[in-house]
Structure 1
Amino acid sequence: MTEPVILVDPLPRTLDVIMTPEIRARLGKLGRLVISEQRPMSDEEIELHLPEAVAIVGQTAMPRERLDRAPGLKAIVNVETNFLPNVDYAACQQRGIWVLTPASAFAAPVAETTLGLCIDLARGISAADRAFRAGTETYGLEANLDTVRFEGATVGIIGFGDLGRKFRKLIHPFRNEVLVYDPWLPAETIERMDCRQTDLDTLLSQSQFVVVFASVSTENAHFLGAREFALMSRGACFLLMSRAAVVDFPAMLAAARSGHVRVATDVFPVEPVPPADPVRTTPNMIFSAHRSGGTADALLAIGSMAVADLELILRGLPPQLCRRADPAIAARLRSQPVSKT
């Protein structure tokens, strides 16, 4: 009997980053591992092993014609955590192939960073630190003339997937009214999380803090632009925590530069950001170098979630930890590979 093969094509991740030795050993018990970590797996190597492949761990392109040559394939686990447009998701669904992502591994650290940035924008913590180092600090009430309280403030969340829901749970003790805009969800899902569904314009105009967790789709590229920033009240706080492409970045910088809004962003149109990029000198902004989710424990959770679900699938059981690609949604996403998360 031919030994089952698991293709491991995980770049930009590597197994030592996403798996402990114990988890990697568990993966090795599921089949013969064919690993390519120095470069993406070559077409020749992929084609050689497709007939025996039962699972793929990585971002390997799997169009319909390749799926035809992989009769035993049961699962594709994208450990970069984005559903890329290089897989025929509908064909996978028709053939009972699970296409999964352990993206929820990042939800807790991203939510934690988002809360920290909210409080920093509200209370001016990093700005006060910079003033102190420059010898221009002020004290007492004078130092708080432009600050607001996060506790009790209205928070608007744009995009209510894993990240948005985890953030909502995290801020419960702050007693915020939470507005949500997510056209892909029914009101019932949102209301069960003690939030109020609303349209985008209402959220922008009524929220002291606007937090963006939306994915990029074929329909929403740059949907937050100059008009939308103008709807926000002066002094409101805007946090971009998902993908840069959902925002008109020059419009966001202009809104911060004018002092109309305060901004924190974890993502940028080009990463790494060029040294001379004018974004670096834009006032009223806090910068985070696409680091909010990429903690060591979150990256290891990617591997443990992937292997745990593969163990179930190869026993004929459904996965329990990773999110499955829905062909209707995956076809609308415009995810691109990222090097740092």
Structure 2
Amino acid sequence: MENTKHVIIADPFPQTMERIFTKETWERLSRIARVESPEEEHMDPDRFDALLPQAVAVIGQSPMPKERLDKAPNLRVIFNVEGNFYQNIDYAECFRRNIRVLNCGAVYARPVAEMALGMAIDLARGITWEHMRFRQGNERYVLEGNRKAQLLTGASVGLIGFGLLGRSLRPLLEPFGCSVKVYDPWLPESVIKEHRCIPASLDDVLSTNDFIFILAGVTNENQGFLGKREFDMIRPNANVMLMSRAAIVDFDEFTDQVAKGKFKAATDVFPTEPCDKNHRIRTVDDVILSAHRAGGIPQAFHLIGEMLVDDLELIMKNLAPVRMQAAQPEIVQRLASKPVK
């Protein structure tokens, strides 16, 4: 029976309740507590604040400074359903009060990994470019259309970052028999080796691999850390997939290097989104462009709702959540991702 004494505040923009909750997960959520959702895109702030005294959970990316947390004595958990830990929450106060802050980012890892693999094969075999030539009546047959073609099978692969994305991509590379080097200064070498990868320096990953996947998240310390010095190390005709956040590269330099023909590239992310209609990356050859769509597929959105309800049911039973990613005191305030519009 629905607990009418407690409230779940749902303000999930840019998500919608219909996108993330199936009929089944909505019914499960509604059995836990009364769900209060916005009448338009965002919940009215005054209404939000008025509901806080009864709230046991908040769904969404609404600001939660201490003054709001102080109004919510029964609050147990805040669910981020966009995919990043933003700096609009008083995390220290949440940790002090044992309010869980959970993130749905894990749902995007496998879709992004599959997209990254597809982009790598596309770049190596020129699938998109030769398709476009065919549509224009300029197709090239057999070797003529394959002079720069490469096999992923047996190739050398480098991963920059080995969090959720890297660990989802690694099993997809197994059938190709690639040697995989990993640079991730936040992990001990033993973790990298457990995934049948070779721990390596950043310079080694950049200079020795035919396929490079940029998968690192954005922090206060690594914005723009891949610039001219780093891109100059990349092998000619290498394939570079930028899949995490554009802020970790010098995007102008990235564009320049691809324009000069230094390496081929694919990117799902851009410094400003939507990408400026006049941005030079739109006119550069040897780059595949994707409008930040690698992770946002219907299966991933439905999984958000399932994971959220699973964890909320556990929390309301005084058990630890197990499905969503929990904010960690040592890490969360170093993160610097910006919302996708």
TM-score w.r.t. the length of structure 1 is 0.96
CA contact (8 A) 2:4 2:34 kept: no
Secondary structure of the residue aligned to 2:153 is coil
Could you tell me which residue of structure 2 aligns to residue 305 of structure 1? Answer: 307
CA shift, 1:161, in A, is: 1.0
Could you tell me which residue of structure 2 aligns to residue 3 of structure 1? Answer: 5
Could you tell me which residue of structure 2 aligns to residue 146 of structure 1? Answer: 148
Q: Which structure 1 segments of 5+ residues have no match? A: none
Secondary structure of the residue aligned to 1:327 is coil
Distance in structure 2 (CA, Å) of the matches to 1:235 and 1:84: 37
Residues 257, 183 of structure 1: CA spacing in aligned structure 2 closer, same or farther, 3 A cutoff?
A: same
Distance in structure 2 (CA, Å) of the matches to 1:40 and 1:131: 45
Could you tell me which residue of structure 2 aligns to residue 117 of structure 1? Answer: 119
Describe how 1:101-112 pairs up with structure 2 within 5 A. 101-112=103-114
Could you tell me which residue of structure 1 aligns to residue 157 of structure 2? Answer: 155
Runs of 4+ in 1 over 6 A off after TM superposition: none
CA contact (8 A) 2:4 2:33 kept: no
Distance in structure 2 (CA, Å) of the matches to 1:37 and 1:216: 33
Q: 2:150 corresponds to which letter in structure 1?
A: V
Could you tell me which residue of structure 2 aligns to residue 13 of structure 1? Answer: 15
CA contact (8 A) 1:9 1:40 kept: yes
Distance in structure 2 (CA, Å) of the matches to 1:206 and 1:88: 43
Describe how 1:1-341 pairs up with structure 2 within 5 A. 3-36=5-38, 38-339=40-341
Distance in structure 2 (CA, Å) of the matches to 1:89 and 1:54: 17
CA contact (8 A) 1:89 1:326 kept: no
Distance in structure 1 (CA, Å) of the matches to 2:218 and 2:89: 17
- Report Cα offsets for 1:175-222 as digits up to 9, x if no partner: 111111111111111111101111111100011111011111000111
Q: 1:172 corresponds to which letter in structure 2?
A: E
CA shift, 1:169, in A, is: 1.0
Residues 254, 246 of structure 1: CA spacing in aligned structure 2 closer, same or farther, 3 A cutoff?
A: same
CA shift, 1:140, in A, is: 2.1
Q: How many pairs does the alignment contain?
A: 339
CA contact (8 A) 1:6 1:32 kept: yes
Between the two proteins, what is the percent identity of the paired residues?
Answer: 46
Q: Which structure 2 segments of 5+ residues have no match? A: none
- Report Cα offsets for 1:251-272 as digits up to 9, x if no partner: 1111111111001000111222
Residues 133, 2 of structure 1: CA spacing in aligned structure 2 closer, same or farther, 3 A cutoff?
A: closer
CA contact (8 A) 1:9 1:41 kept: yes
Secondary structure of the residue aligned to 2:32 is coil
CA shift, 1:2, in A, is: 6.8
